[in-house]
Homo-oligomer: A and B are copies of this chain.
Amino acid sequence: MNNILFDDLYSEATNTMEHSFIREILKVTKSVEGIISFAGGLPHPDSFPREKLSELFSEVILSEGSEALQYGASDGDKIFKDIIKNFEEVPYLNDDELMITVGSTNGIYYFTRTLIDPGDIILCEAPSFPGSITSMEACGARLVGIEMDELGMRPDLLEEKLEELTSKNAPVKFIYVIPEFHNPTGRTMDLQRRRDIIKVATKYRLPILEDQPYRELRFSGERVMTLWEIARTEFNDPKLVTIAKSFSKILGPGLRLGFASGPPETINHMVKWAQKVNVSPDCLTQRVTARYIERGYMRSHIKKIIDLYKPKKEAMMDSLEKYMPEGAKWTNPDGGMFIWVTFDESIDTDKLFEKAIKNKVAFIPGAKFYPKGTGKKNEIRLNFSYPDTEMIEEGIKRLAQLL
């Protein structure tokens, strides 16, 4: 009997979907011995609070395991939600404005699935985070990138593009921004920029999806209100912004835990998707994280991570200054995990990548962060959270020698 071939049975969305090319790059870099990699976006393992988590998992299973190992609500554990509201200093938030997700990409997927029909348009920063972009494209979205300046997405260009799109009745569905320690550029929107983006969104009646995975990792400068907060307070518009946050960078990404907050109607739809996709997030991990925050461990732990990453960032800044050639520029992030380097326009960073691998140093070429076919060739993203501080100078030196 012939084996059945099913190639013609796959869905349209599946056939047009790509594997993540960043994952492919990471596979390449992992296979090279002695490589210094600035390519990934991994937290440093020293940032995982292993002692406390070890104690709490053990304790919670014994004391609350009947509940924490049982099926739980699709919108998340009520106890965890209450503790998040306190931790985020929004105790007034209603339960139906908040849901727990399996990491923040999961929240971004639910939000996109809730709004996007195939062919619909999302406006995002150019460059932006490919993990989100491919997740959105898998839902059939067309991504339109808006150029950035040092303060993030440019509101004038956003308005110009929206004017153009709406005049053609194009199906624009929402605006996606990473306003803080932006991935890949490390840039942060100031308060005025956030207000300006909100004004444009309001004018064109478009919801905003605010991605905030790095917010707690601020090394310098003053904390700025989220777009979510600004819309609620200054604009009295609690429905404009849905925010996605993550525990990946402050507890450990292996735990797959995040949350999303937005208007009740949207969250309700996202929860309906959660029922169908995952039933619920991991209930045990939720309860453990709840107890971790409740006992006051989180704030001091975040301080520890900042103390771990800040010297790494400074080491990278110093090394860039010391080794990079004339004409190269780089961002100076106030937090997060990434620095964005722009070279002279003659430099093709896809070709540089091949040379760098041979020279045992890795980064991600900038073109990978732009919607299809719109990328610039002379940019790269450098990660400073994962490599050891003493290797950072050596890595930047190796890279500079190739320029």
A residues contacting B by CB (< 8 A) are 1, 3-7, 9-14, 17-20, 23, 42-43, 45, 48, 50-51, 53-55, 57-59, 61-62, 65-72, 74, 102-103, 105-106, 109, 113-117, 120, 131, 134-135, 138, 173-174, 202, 205-207, 235-240, 248, 251-256, 263, 265-266, 269, 272-273, 275-285
The contact of A239 among B4, B53, B252, B280, by CB within 8 Å, is B4
Chain B residues within an 8 Å CB radius of A173: 9
Given contacts A9-B173, A48-B65, A69-B254, contact A240 B4 (CB under 8 A): yes
Contact B50 A54 (CB under 8 A): no
Given A9-B207, A103-B278: 12 more A-B contacts, CB < 8 Å: A3-B236, A4-B237, A4-B240, A13-B113, A13-B117, A14-B113, A68-B254, A102-B279, A106-B279, A135-B277, A256-B282, A282-B282
Alpha-carbon distance between A278 and B272 when the two chains are bound, in angstroms = 16
Alpha-carbon distance between A19 and B43 when the two chains are bound, in angstroms = 37
The contact of A277 among B67, B106, B207, by CB within 8 Å, is B106
Alpha-carbon distance between A211 and B252 when the two chains are bound, in angstroms = 32
Closest Cβ neighbor of A11 among chain B residues: B117
Contact B269 A19 (CB under 8 A): no
Chain B residues within an 8 Å CB radius of A1: 202, 235-237
Chain B residues within an 8 Å CB radius of A57: 54, 57-58, 61
Contact B42 A50 (CB under 8 A): no
Alpha-carbon distance between A251 and B70 when the two chains are bound, in angstroms = 10
Chain B residues within an 8 Å CB radius of A272: 14, 17-19, 138
Chain B residues within an 8 Å CB radius of A103: 278-279
The contact of A116 among B11, B206, B279, by CB within 8 Å, is B11
Closest Cβ neighbor of A110 among chain B residues: B277
Chain B residues within an 8 Å CB radius of A254: 67-72, 282-284
Q: Nearest Cβ in chain B — how far from A232, in angstroms? A: 10
Chain B residues within an 8 Å CB radius of A207: 4, 6, 9
Contact B54 A265 (CB under 8 A): no
Chain B residues within an 8 Å CB radius of A19: 272, 275
Interface centre among A65, A102, A120, A276 (most CB of B within 10 A): A276
Given contacts A54-B61, A61-B54, A279-B105, contact A265 B7 (CB under 8 A): yes
Given contacts A1-B235, A48-B69, A53-B65, contact A10 B115 (CB under 8 A): yes
Q: Nearest Cβ in chain B — how far from A289, in angstroms? A: 12
Q: Nearest Cβ in chain B — how far from A174, in angstroms? A: 8
Given contacts A3-B237, A58-B57, contact A279 B265 (CB under 8 A): no
The contact of A12 among B68, B117, B237, B279, by CB within 8 Å, is B117
Name the 5 nearest CB pairs between A and B, nearest first: A69-B252, A254-B283, A57-B57, A58-B58, A45-B66
Interface centre among A3, A51, A251, A256 (most CB of B within 10 A): A256
Contact B70 A42 (CB under 8 A): yes
Contact B117 A3 (CB under 8 A): no
Contact B69 A42 (CB under 8 A): no
Closest Cβ neighbor of A240 among chain B residues: B4
Chain B residues within an 8 Å CB radius of A284: 252, 254-255, 285
Chain B residues within an 8 Å CB radius of A278: 102-103, 105-106, 109, 256, 278
Contact A70 B252 (CB under 8 A): yes
Closest Cβ neighbor of A286 among chain B residues: B254
Closest Cβ neighbor of A23 among chain B residues: B275
Chain B residues within an 8 Å CB radius of A276: 17, 105, 109, 134-135, 138
